Amino acid sequence: PDEPQVRAAADAVHAAKLKLLWIPWFRAVGWDRWRACGIDVAIMQPNYAFFSNHRGAVRRNRLAVNANLSRRAGMGVEIELPMYCNDPASARYFLEYLADGAAQRHGYQEGATAYYLGAKNLGMLGQSSRPWQRQLARALAEYVAGKAIDVPGPRLAWTADGRKAAVLGDGNLGKAMSLRQATGFLPQMELVAKLDVFLDGSGPASPFSGLVRVDLRRKGGEWHPGGWAIHPSPTVGDGPWQVVTVPLEGKADAVRVSMDPAPGSPPPRVRELAIELAQGTGRNTVPSLARGCTYRAGTMPEAVYGDSGGELTDGVVPATGFFSGQTVGWHGHRAVVCFDLGHPVRVDRVEAHVEGGGYAAVKWPAQAVLMVGRDTPPAMGLSGAGALPDAFSWTAAGEVVIDQQRTRDAANGHLVFAPPQPLESRYLNLIFATRGWFMLSEVKVFAGDTNLAAGRPYTVHPAPAAKSSSPYADDGIRLTDGFVARAFLRHDITGWSTGREHLIALDLLGRVPCRKVTVWTLAGGLHGIRAPEAVVVAVQDNQGNWREVGRSLRPADLLEKGGLVALPYSVQLDGTAPRALRATIIRKTGWAMVSEVQIE
């Protein structure tokens, strides 16, 4: 609708014998109509290097997708220096950004380029006493001079079927090979964090759908599970540049990648396997029986399109869309809806009623998967570190069925999850990979023609998008994700500076034997963050009765003169499996910050 105004502005610029430049963000509205609007040069932002904002949730195929779209539309690519240049993880992301511009990779180094460097960061990097920061300044200078930048990280020597498979690690994304299993050898023992599988979706074969498993090995010993990921279907919008990211935990000098296609899916063609090493990001993982458990925290803010606990099973699909206030909305990278049907029952299909079309940035999900478990809840994500969870099955949704086209760019539709055979399931998780705003109004679980979900309770994770912009509000995920913050990392912590007592209640469903509970906090005084006065732990039995089982007090000799440390508050339990567990954080002064509730 703004095109006439833009054309008028372009005419005025040209009348003054000047040129008009536009630098849209990634896939901004009208990004591919720049010529029709009279714009002379357009350069698209990948929005990749801002690691401090997305914490790695935007994966490296963003660079491929952005470059491919820009090339087709005759655009250049912007280079964005991370604003959080004190984070070593950001350094890697920026070097990847530069390396992928080379001619043998995505080629945008040779095109029109804009640079977003900030006011002071470039000078700070060039004069830094830290070698890794000076390296960023040197790499940028070499990039501008036209020199190809090396891909950061170790080069693995890959083999497949007993033969060298150099194509998997040669840095050339123009070549690919069919792959079932490959083994990569690191030059030395390393702490690994992720593995990216770059798929080639440009060929005539059907897109890969299936499971990716990664095993790790140390010094020629036994293989042990490193991580797993499900690729249910091509991610909407990524075209032929699909990527599967497998989170990893552990040290290894050898990595084995196994591709398990779903029935009817061919073995994938792979362009590259890229390992990412763990960085000094101020966080570490802890083993916890509560990992992935659902919980409720008193710091969750009011949502823009919130859920009272019944919107998704009340039988209402509003004809007017999200304006009605009868939808639940997320603005992030993932949304999960969890059902416990009480006991295993037959499930023939599941429907999810959603909205999309682009109006107000409301879009159909990029991927949607149903995960089910008969006796234990399935995973709440499409990937995980360590071993594959116990018995579960998954079904990808088909394409969106349009039910109502409200306007040119706003529609109601539904997704159908139809497993090949009826499932015997108690636990169901619907996982949506989102882009822009994701709006969900109803979920139906069918046994024959009967909707088993009608009026039934459920939980959603993370919490729907909040009205407030508080950086320390909880999201329903971060306190049981296994990560303990050792520094001020706002995406890993939740906190408050008012009120004395705040509750965190975990839904354990009687499945987790508890011998020890540790609430991980931050202390030290930096930014006004102080150790809580105490943490009180209580458990709930199957009859709904709560009883206090212990409390942990602030260390009497603790001195908080600046800096930050991870401070645990631990309570011993008797090893029984409670229905729920509650931790009450008693704030003393300043900010109380919590990063994890660990159960052993």
CATH number of the domain where residue 222 is located: 2.60.120.260
Last residue of a domain, one of 99, 121, 144: 144
Q: What is the pLDDT of residue 49?
A: 67
Diameter over CA atoms, the chain: 81
Pick from 491, 472, 506: nearest CA to 580: 506
Q: How is residue 527 written in tokens? A: 């930014």
| Average pLDDT value for residue range 32-43 | 94
Last residue of a domain, one of 109, 144, 179: 144
Q: Is there a domain that residue 296 lies in?
A: no
Q: Are 493 and 522 in contact (CB under 8 A)?
A: yes
- Cα 342 versus chain centre, distance: 30
Tens-digit pLDDT profile for residues 322-334: 888 889 999 877 8
**Which bin fits 386, alpha (ψ -120 to 50), beta or left (φ > 0)?**
left
Last residue of a domain, one of 229, 248, 279: 279
Q: What is the pLDDT of residue 50?
A: 61
Q: What is the pLDDT of residue 352?
A: 98
CATH number of the domain where residue 339 is located: 2.60.120.1190
Same domain, 322 and 452: yes
pLDDT-derived band of residue 58, with 50, 70 and 90 as boundaries? low
Q: Is the pLDDT of residue 511 over 80?
A: no
Q: Is the pLDDT of residue 203 over 70?
A: no
Q: Are 102 and 95 in contact (CB under 8 A)?
A: no
Pick from 274, 268, 275: nearest CA to 240: 268
| Average pLDDT value for residue range 231-241 | 75
Q: What is the pLDDT of residue 56?
A: 46
pLDDT-derived band of residue 52, with 50, 70 and 90 as boundaries? very low
User: Is the previous residue joined to 462 through a cis bond, with omega within 30 degrees of 0?
Assistant: yes
Tens-digit pLDDT profile for residues 257-290: 999 998 888 889 998 898 888 765 556 778 888 8
Which range of 46-60, 364-378, 466-480 scores highest in mean pLDDT? It is 364-378
> At 266, is the secondary structure helix, strand, or coil?
coil
Pick from 339, 352, 330: nearest CA to 294: 339
Strands (DSSP E) contained in 31-137 are 41-44, 76-80, 113-116
Other CB atoms within 10 A of residue 331 CB: 17
Same domain, 161 and 136: no
Q: Is there a domain that residue 473 lies in?
A: no
Q: Is there a domain that residue 294 lies in?
A: no
**Cα dihedral 390, 462, 418, 327 in deg (nearest 10):** 160
pLDDT-derived band of residue 462, with 50, 70 and 90 as boundaries? confident
Q: Is there a domain that residue 523 lies in?
A: yes
Same domain, 31 and 179: no
Same domain, 182 and 275: yes
Q: What is the pLDDT of residue 126?
A: 87
Q: Is there a domain that residue 285 lies in?
A: no
Q: Is the pLDDT of residue 28 over 50?
A: yes
| Average pLDDT value for residue range 77-94 | 75
Other CB atoms within 10 A of residue 283 CB: 21
Q: What is the pLDDT of residue 111?
A: 92
Same domain, 132 and 176: no
Q: What is the pLDDT of residue 85?
A: 66
Q: Is the pLDDT of residue 481 over 80?
A: yes
Q: What is the pLDDT of residue 297?
A: 82
Number of structural domains the chain divides into: 4
Same domain, 369 and 502: no
Q: Is the pLDDT of residue 375 over 50?
A: yes
User: DSSP state, 529?
Assistant: B
Q: Is the pLDDT of residue 54 over 70?
A: no
Q: How far is CA 52 from CA 47, 413, 478, in A?
A: 12, 35, 16
Q: Is there a domain that residue 377 lies in?
A: yes
Q: Are 121 and 85 in contact (CB under 8 A)?
A: yes
Q: Is the pLDDT of residue 69 over 70?
A: yes
Q: How far is CA 54 from CA 39, 60, 233, 565, in A?
A: 30, 12, 23, 24
Q: Are 211 and 267 in contact (CB under 8 A)?
A: no
Same domain, 344 and 482: no
Q: Is there a domain that residue 470 lies in?
A: no
Same domain, 257 and 341: no
| Average pLDDT value for residue range 501-527 | 90
Same domain, 257 and 163: yes
Q: How far is CA 507 from CA 60, 245, 368, 490, 570, in A?
A: 35, 29, 25, 24, 19
> At 248, is the secondary structure helix, strand, or coil?
strand
Q: How far is CA 24 from CA 29, 49, 337, 587, in A?
A: 8, 16, 34, 45
Q: Is the pLDDT of residue 369 over 90?
A: yes
Same domain, 316 and 451: yes
Q: Is the pLDDT of residue 55 over 50?
A: no
Average pLDDT value for the chain: 88
Same domain, 140 and 16: yes
| Average pLDDT value for residue range 495-509 | 88
Q: How far is CA 404 from CA 53, 119, 356, 399, 411, in A?
A: 35, 48, 11, 15, 6
Pick from 459, 464, 515: nearest CA to 290: 515
DSSP lists the bridge partners of residue 195 as 246, 275
Q: What is the pLDDT of residue 89?
A: 64
Q: What is the pLDDT of residue 87?
A: 66
Q: Is there a domain that residue 289 lies in?
A: no
Same domain, 102 and 212: no
What's the domain range around 484? 478-599
